[in-house]
Amino acid sequence: MIGRLRGTLVSKQPPALMIDVNGVGYELEAPMSTFYELPATGAEVTLITHYAVKEDAVALYGFHRESERTLFRTLLKVSGIGAKTALSILSGVSVGDFARMVLNSEITALTRIPGIGKKTAERIVLELRDRVEGMNDGASLPSGGARGVAIDPNAEATAALVQFGYKPPEILRLLKDAAEPGDSAETLIRKALKAALR
């Protein structure tokens, strides 16, 4: 079991990143809430991790806060929710906002997250109402962009949004409405995810 990694950030292309720990490169996937707080490549970073073993694959997921990992693990226990959908949820809303949606039975808001239909949203509310009470990470998604601007922020943002389950036509619409000159890929993704949840 790998519970935490500290090393050099080698690469970051949402939702994937790599950390070099004493010469061993660990590939992880992370929600955008974690990407917003990553330092520039080459800097040291510490992430809390979730190690998943499936029949056909092994995967490692990284988070900045214990509350994010706790919610990720809680979501995986809901029937019909896999890691990809759990990452989408954490990418679009803060832990505290998600807990509020569940406690207030905001089914419509939950269905705006890729991979969550009405039945899954209802199941989330039913199964998680008692588990999310008191969940809060003490932080909402940051308003600023991340350090460093990608060579092609639009292409990087598009690729990340596809990974999170959005369809190309929807991505084009979200990015067209959100994009401003000079935006980094992370800023574009954050704006698009917030727009999609409205």
Q: What confidence score (pLDDT) does residue 113 get?
A: 79
- The predicted-structure confidence for 155-176, as pLDDT tens digits, reads as follows 777 777 777 777 777 887 888 7
pLDDT in tens, 73-106: 999 998 888 888 898 888 878 888 888 889 889 8
Question: Which residue has better confidence, 63 or 149?
Answer: 63
- pLDDT classification of 61: cutoffs 50, 70, 90: very high
The per-residue DSSP string of 141-189 comes to PPSSPPSS--SSHHHHHHHHHHHTT--HHHHHHHHHHH--TT--HHHHH
Q: What mean pLDDT is reported for the chain?
A: 83
pTM, full prediction: 0.71
Q: Give Cβ neighbours of residue 152 (< 8 Å, ≥ 6 apart).
A: none
Domains in the chain with CATH codes: 4-63 (2.40.50.140), 70-132 (1.10.150.20), 153-196 (1.10.8.10)
Q: Which residue has the higher pLDDT, 156 or 49?
A: 49
Q: Say what the pLDDT of residue 148 is.
A: 34
